[in-house]
Amino acid sequence: DVVYLHTGPFHDTELIVELRDMTGQLVARSTYEGILENQTLSFPLPALARSQYVLSGLVDGHVFSKQIQVW
């Protein structure tokens, strides 16, 4: 499975996205480099147990996070 991320207008040339379980344990991490403005990136999901997870990253000094549910 894959989660697609649309980057929007930002200027960083490196983006690190992490997936953590609800206890804060790191489950997966991907690094994207290059021109990332207005791109759609794919974040591959490992085999996950049914639960809630938090997908987060740092862009132009701002943290974004999104809670996702795995069924």
pLDDT digits (tens, 9 = 90+) for 11-69: 788 899 999 999 999 999 999 998 888 999 999 988 888 899 999 998 778 888 999 99
Q: How many domains are there within the chain?
A: 1
The confidence score (pLDDT) of residue 37 equals: 87
Identify the domain containing residue 59 by its residue range: 2-70
Query: Any idea of the CA torsion for 63, 54, 22, 45, to the nearest 10 degrees?
Result: -140
CATH number of the domain residue 9 falls in: 2.60.40.1220
Higher-pLDDT residue of 3 and 60 is 3
Tell me what pLDDT residue 55 has: 94
